[in-house]
Chains A and B, each alone.
Chain A
Amino acid sequence: MDEDEKKDMCPICKTDRYLSPDMKFLINPECYHKICESCVDRIFSLGPAQCPYESCDKILRRNKFKTQIFDDVGVEKEVDIRKRVFNVFNKTLEDFDDNQESYDKYLEEVEDIIYNLDNGIDMEKTEERLRTYEELNKHLIMANLERSKQDLANFEQRQKFEKEMKLKKRQLEKQIEEDERANREWAKREIVNQLTVNEDAEEVIENVRKTVKLKKSSARRKLEELNKVLRNNPSMTMVNGRMKKRDVVPFTPFNGDRDLHKRYELVENEYNDSFIRDLQKKKEYIASGFRTDLVYNRMLTEAFMGLGCVIKEELKTS
């Protein structure tokens, strides 16, 4: 049996992919031994069990099995380890105040850990190192995780924006095309028309051309504008440190300039206020945009504005 054939056969049940094209191989990051899906189902249906490979004593769980992405199991393993380590060691250059040297040192350290885990060197000690670091840097890790999520969201939004703009661009280009076709036809007709009254063909053509120029569609101007936007939008393309840092802070539309805990509840139907109600019925009030809720809100806001200020305490000079 050659290597190629081996690749498509489950070493446990010996089913061949050639015969059952639906067959899927799964691996478990504990040992990276390849097993077909139906074997996994069978062997691990009752709970954790030992790897069916001879000479492998790893205990495997069914929910840890995953589809193999890389052909080379070695690569698959390294990628997994990297993912795991970088989820914990997720600092960026920014976290080192842009000090490249210390960042490099940090990266080297991370590479050491990955290398050790990948090659089974000092496994226990290395695992311990990973755990300790995780324990000590919980907050930072969480924050950085959040940030990369945000980065992804931003990226998606940016893509959406650009897509939107490009769609508009296409529409505009189509419009320009149409406009120009219409212009050309108009010019043809116009020249014929004018030649019936004016003999000087050159003058007629010149005149029509001028008018066509003036008619240069507004779509074209808009296209230029749009191109400018796509070209000159620093925040759309900016991925340097400063923008990322800003993303960590949530945007606050009011910057705190708002009372979120009003001391009243507006219940218009419980207010018997004949004065306001009468106004509400007047045409000139309705037409002006008069709104009873605005009036009530103002009165109520003022009723409680300063209720909690105790002048004799707050202004006491001590």
Chain B
Amino acid sequence: MPTGNDISEATPAEGSKDAATKRISDDDLYRHSSQYTLWSFTKEQLLEKRRTLNARVVDKVNERLQNTISSHTDLSQDELDAIKETAVPVSVDEELKFVNFFARKVQSFCQSLNLPTEVGATAISFFRRYFLMNSTMEVHPKHILLTSIFLACKSENYFIGIEAFAKKTKSQPAAILKYEFSVLESLRFTLLNHHPYRPLHGFFLDIQHILHGKVDLNYMGQIYSNCKKRITETILTDVVYHYTPPQITLACLLIEDEALTLKYLELKFGNVGVPSEPESAEAIIEEAKSEEAKSEEPKSKESKSEGSKSEGSKSEGSKSEGVKSEESKSEETKSEETLSSSKSGSTINLDLLTALVVECKDMILNVEALSKEEATKIDARLHYCQNPMLLVDRLRRQKQQRDSSAEVAAEPDSKKLKV
């Protein structure tokens, strides 16, 4: 609960012409972060972003293919067919999976370098954000992999000199540094990440308080370390763009132990007076009231969501609707309520929160990974759609070899994936 002399904070109005005089809650603080302002999207926005990027590059690639074909009049029908079949630009979905496939490589690299968890998470975040701004058809993920890690080390105060870093990763300093500014620019020079690890630690503590005496401490320790691993997995997915770190953490806790997590949330945010926590339940209501009384200050700026809902029909309908995500989703849009009510930033609508967390959980569990074979195929297509003549060369070489030895050459592509 708040500490200190709060009365004096009733109306921040001194020098009120300054924009800075609005009350800034911790949620608002998150809303000011670059992770929220630049790297959070609705699903539609994210898809649109990827589509636009992909379409732009696909057009270029197709144009190039066309140019190649028309400038090489000597191509045989077989060769043309091969180009049409293999040098095909990759789709949005394929790009995404391919990036994620490499993001996993970033992860295993970090593990083999024994980097702290947060550094690894940041490296993955940099890597995946880079490919929100750049297509794999322009820059192959393998070029960005080490640069992301190197930059993450610097950004997270885990500096390793370039020589040492190159030596450890068996690579060339120049190859890593070459892309550093490109990565920085693509990241739009935002480097601070909010990962869910500290929130997890926070919930680990708060659960012990809310469920005091009702939860086994060894078991909590187990939950904690399992969740930590799970969070590392979520960094590899799009949930980081759609949900905030606390929400992702709760989703992971939900996967780990649904009953415990729901119980915790109910005791924590259920507004009905719960016997075990009567004080805090009352406190929340009290806070809500007092906030209401003093919230004369315009909240308009932050109310991207709240503004439209302020007159919200106070239908209690959705409250009883319960936990199932599908139902409450539709209910949510109808009954105009917000998760954190606009009047008092601190109170949380339990049902909406639960629905949101369940939704996030489902998304975590539904991640498709790319098999190595598929990745190899995409890799080949990326390679050849950028350099269609290399495909032709290879076909011709193979033909020569066939002609001379009748032996089929080995697929060269599988090697390339060993970054």
Which A residues are closer than 8 A to B by beta carbons?
A: 246, 249-265, 267, 270-273, 296, 298-317
What is the CA–CA distance of A263 and B206 in the complex, to the nearest angstrom?
10
> Do residues B209 and A308 form an inter-chain contact, with CB atoms below 8 A?
no
> Do residues A255 and B198 form an inter-chain contact, with CB atoms below 8 A?
no
> Do residues B198 and A311 form an inter-chain contact, with CB atoms below 8 A?
no
Q: A257-B20, A298-B198, A303-B202 are in contact. Are A265 and B36 (CB under 8 A)?
A: no
What is the CA–CA distance of A270 and B206 in the complex, to the nearest angstrom?
9
> Do residues A315 and B40 form an inter-chain contact, with CB atoms below 8 A?
yes
Which B residues are closer than 8 A to A by beta carbons?
A: 1-2, 6, 8-16, 18, 20-27, 29-31, 36, 40-43, 45, 194, 198-206, 208-209, 212, 217, 220, 241-247, 249, 280, 287, 291, 297, 304-305, 338-340, 344-346, 348, 352-353, 356
Q: B6: nearest residue on chain A (CB-CB)?
A: A260
CB < 8 Å: which of B8, B42, B353 contacts A315?
A: B42
Q: B203: nearest residue on chain A (CB-CB)?
A: A303
What is the CA–CA distance of A296 and B203 in the complex, to the nearest angstrom?
10
- What are 20 pairs between A and B in contact, CB < 8 Å? A251-B14, A252-B9, A252-B12, A254-B12, A255-B15, A258-B24, A261-B25, A262-B1, A267-B212, A270-B208, A300-B202, A300-B206, A303-B199, A303-B206, A305-B246, A306-B36, A310-B339, A311-B40, A312-B43, A315-B40
> Do residues B8 and A253 form an inter-chain contact, with CB atoms below 8 A?
yes
Task: Please name all residues of chain B whose beta carbon is closer than 8 Å to the beta carbon of A251 when the two chains form the complex.
Answer: 8, 14
Q: Give the top 5 A-B pairs by smallest Cβ distance, nearest first.
A: A303-B202, A308-B340, A261-B346, A306-B30, A306-B244
What is the CA–CA distance of A270 and B12 in the complex, to the nearest angstrom?
35
Besides A256-B20, A262-B1, A263-B348, 13 other CB < 8 A contacts?
A246-B14, A252-B9, A256-B9, A256-B24, A261-B291, A261-B346, A265-B209, A267-B212, A302-B199, A303-B202, A304-B199, A306-B31, A310-B338
Q: B333: nearest residue on chain A (CB-CB)?
A: A313
Q: A252-B14, A255-B14, A271-B208 are in contact. Are A261 and B245 (CB under 8 A)?
A: no
What is the CA–CA distance of A256 and B25 in the complex, to the nearest angstrom?
9
CB distance from B281 to the nearest CB of A (A): 12
Task: Please name all residues of chain A whose beta carbon is closer than 8 Å to the beta carbon of B338 when the two chains form the complex.
Answer: 310, 313
Instruction: Give the secondary structure class of A's interface.
Output: loop
Q: B218: nearest residue on chain A (CB-CB)?
A: A272
Task: Please name all residues of chain B whose beta carbon is closer than 8 Å to the beta carbon of A296 when the two chains form the complex.
Answer: 205
> Do residues B353 and A271 form an inter-chain contact, with CB atoms below 8 A?
no
Q: A258-B24, A308-B339 are in contact. Are A250 and B242 (CB under 8 A)?
A: no
> Do residues B8 and A307 form an inter-chain contact, with CB atoms below 8 A?
no
> Do residues B45 and A315 form an inter-chain contact, with CB atoms below 8 A?
yes
Task: Please name all residues of chain A whose beta carbon is closer than 8 Å to the beta carbon of B291 when the two chains form the complex.
Answer: 261
> Do residues A317 and B194 form an inter-chain contact, with CB atoms below 8 A?
no
> Do residues A261 and B344 form an inter-chain contact, with CB atoms below 8 A?
yes
> Do residues A306 and B245 form an inter-chain contact, with CB atoms below 8 A?
yes
> Do residues A306 and B8 form an inter-chain contact, with CB atoms below 8 A?
no
> Do residues B12 and A311 form an inter-chain contact, with CB atoms below 8 A?
no
What is the CA–CA distance of A302 and B220 in the complex, to the nearest angstrom?
19
> Do residues B36 and A309 form an inter-chain contact, with CB atoms below 8 A?
yes
> Do residues A302 and B198 form an inter-chain contact, with CB atoms below 8 A?
yes
Task: Please name all residues of chain A whose beta carbon is closer than 8 Å to the beta carbon of B43 when the two chains form the complex.
Answer: 312
Task: Please name all residues of chain B whose beta carbon is closer than 8 Å to the beta carbon of A271 when the two chains form the complex.
Answer: 205, 208-209
> Do residues B42 and A312 form an inter-chain contact, with CB atoms below 8 A?
yes
CB distance from A174 to the nearest CB of B (A): 38
